[in-house]
């Protein structure tokens, strides 16, 4: 689950893993998230790295701290994550695709058609 | 609180300067990776911190005390490498028993469990163990002693991949339950980097970098593109490593901080992350280029 290939820092991967837990509903509003020590044990990483991942989410108002009790999921968490991923991750992926298309001289229509086909196929998969 | 403080620490070995004006401090309950090429001074530093060797000049304190021949430091710290010498007449279980008498925090249950997990036999003799088995046995002592300062010098020497993995996991789990200050030296930064909070990189007995592991991972950036363009772009920038790859293409590693990376991308250069292990190798290269230059 955690990869050490160096392309994404471990603490970002931890933050993203918790985000996904929230998105798929494994962690709900006002629920307590794993402590830095639990995360360290789960992923065999330094607890300071895990704490950095948790703090990243606190800074973005995805988690809030109850003094002495730990970190909990905010009411807005899910929406914040969705907005953020749309604007950064999804947009970034599309930018990469656009760049590649440019290098390969793929026309706009062709690219859009490819995207539509992929979306259609992936919908078929979930059924 | 700082467990270790060094200020201008210097160690002479004959005419050779093994440690040269080394200054750094290490906070309590952190795991630090001590990284450096062969002969960089890693072992010398660890032996001075453990109180085995005496510094030549400068200041060094461990638990606010000068470590050399200090009983307090000796009881609260342990130094483990692959050359620990034990009496040839003692069995492995007798050795563990003696160790438990010396170290006040020794966990007998943990040492016995690790001993059984790694399939050691009570009546085995230390000098009959293979290199990897010796390291594994030493690791049991290193973990079970639960010393406030645990110094592990190349702890995985000779261990096979499965044992290494088990070792790092055991070390981390016991650290989570019983926080302590640890320094691990290794040639295998990539396999222990997830465990580390900080990295101390030394070269020729001098401090090169001392920073959080996460920052080391983002310290450098690799740039690949047409040789002309790369050469021009890296001019006046902090270049760590340059290598020609294929026909008319160059790969350069630069210090990431403050670089106009978006611009590089727009120019058509490819950006790639540089692993912590690679950046350490590039930074401590004695020569520009690499082994390929020998064959030119």
CATH classification at residue A40: 1.10.10.10
Whether the Cβ atoms of residue B181 and residue B234 lie closer than 8 Å to each other: no
Average pLDDT value for chain B: 92
Say if B163 is an interface residue toward chain A (CB within 8 Å): no
Picking from B212, B239, B269, the residue at the C-terminal end of a domain is: B212
Q: Are residues B150 and B198 in the same domain?
A: yes
Say if B28 is an interface residue toward chain A (CB within 8 Å): no
CATH number at B268 reads: 3.30.70
Whether residue A4 is contained in a domain is answered as no
Q: How many domains would you assign to chain A?
A: 2
Q: Are residues B149 and B262 in the same domain?
A: no
Picking from B145, B179, B212, the residue at the C-terminal end of a domain is: B212
Q: Which domain holds residue A25?
A: 10-75
pLDDT of res. A5: 61
Picking from A59, A75, A91, the residue at the C-terminal end of a domain is: A75
Of B24 and A5, the structure prediction assigns the larger pLDDT to B24
Q: Are residues A63 and A97 in the same domain?
A: no
- What mean pLDDT is predicted for residues B17-36? 96
Q: Which residues 33-72 of chain A have a CB within 8 Å of chain B?
A: 37, 40-41, 43-49, 52
Nearest chain A CA: its distance from B171 CA (Å): 10
Q: Are residues B194 and B275 in the same domain?
A: no
Model confidence band, residue B54 (pLDDT cutoffs 50, 70, 90)? very high
Nearest partner of B138 among B78, B49, B72, B202, judged by Cα: B78
Percent of chain B with pLDDT over 90: 76
Is the ipTM higher than 0.95? The answer is no
Q: Are residues A35 and A17 in the same domain?
A: yes
Model confidence band, residue A126 (pLDDT cutoffs 50, 70, 90)? low
Model confidence band, residue B279 (pLDDT cutoffs 50, 70, 90)? very high
Q: Are residues B89 and B143 in the same domain?
A: yes
pLDDT of res. B288: 58
Cα distance between residue A18 and residue B261, in whole Å: 29
- Beta strand B181-185 pairing with B31-35: parallel
Q: Quick check: A46 and B173 CB within 8 A?
A: no
Whether residue A34 is contained in a domain is answered as yes
Say if B253 is an interface residue toward chain A (CB within 8 Å): no
Cα distance between residue B95 and residue A107, in whole Å: 73
Q: Which domain holds residue B270?
A: 217-295
């Amino acid at each position: 689950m955690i990869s050490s290939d160096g392309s994404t820092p471990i603490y970002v991967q931890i933050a993203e893993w918790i985000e996904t837990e929230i998105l798929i509903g494994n962690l709900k509003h006002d629920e307590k998230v794993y402590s830095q020590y639990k995360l360290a044990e789960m992923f065999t990483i330094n607890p300071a790295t895990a704490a950095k991942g948790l703090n990243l989410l606190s800074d973005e108002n995805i988690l809030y701290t109850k003094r002495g009790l730990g970190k909990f999921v905010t009411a807005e968490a899910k929406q914040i994550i969705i907005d953020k991923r749309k604007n950064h991750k999804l947009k970034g992926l599309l930018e990469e695709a656009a760049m590649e298309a440019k290098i390969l001289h793929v026309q706009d229509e062709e690219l859009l058609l490819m995207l539509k086909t992929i979306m259609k196929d992936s919908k078929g998969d979930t059924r | 609180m700082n467990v270790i403080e060094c200020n201008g620490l210097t160690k002479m070995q004959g005419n050779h300067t093994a440690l040269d004006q080394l200054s750094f401090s290490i906070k309590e309950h952190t795991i630090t990776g001590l990284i450096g090429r062969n002969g960089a001074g890693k072992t010398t530093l660890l032996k001075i911190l453990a109180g085995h060797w005496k510094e030549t000049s400068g200041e060094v304190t461990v638990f606010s005390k000068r470590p050399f021949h200090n009983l307090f430091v000796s009881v609260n710290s342990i130094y483990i490498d692959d050359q620990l010498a034990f009496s040839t007449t003692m069995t492995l279980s007798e050795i563990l028993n003696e160790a438990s008498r010396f170290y006040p925090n020794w966990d007998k249950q943990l040492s016995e469990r690790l001993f059984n997990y790694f399939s050691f036999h009570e009546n085995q003799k230390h000098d009959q163990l293979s290199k990897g088995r010796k390291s594994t046995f030493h690791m049991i002592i290193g973990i079970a002693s639960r010393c406030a300062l645990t110094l592990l010098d190349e702890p995985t020497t000779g261990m096979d991949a499965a044992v290494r993995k088990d070792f790092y996991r055991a070390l981390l789990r016991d650290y989570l339950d019983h926080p302590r200050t640890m320094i691990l030296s290794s040639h295998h930064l990539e396999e222990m980097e997830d465990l580390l909070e900080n990295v101390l990189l030394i070269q020729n007995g001098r401090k090169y970098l001392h920073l959080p592991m996460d920052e080391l991972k983002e310290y450098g950036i690799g740039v690949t593109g047409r040789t002309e363009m790369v050469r021009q772009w890296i001019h006046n920038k902090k270049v760590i490593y340059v290598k020609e790859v294929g026909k008319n293409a160059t790969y350069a590693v630069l210090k990431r901080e403050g670089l106009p990376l978006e611009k590089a991308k727009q120019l058509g250069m490819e950006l790639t992350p540089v692993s912590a292990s690679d950046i350490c190798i590039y930074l401590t290269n004695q020569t520009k280029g690499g082994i390929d230059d020998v064959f030119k």
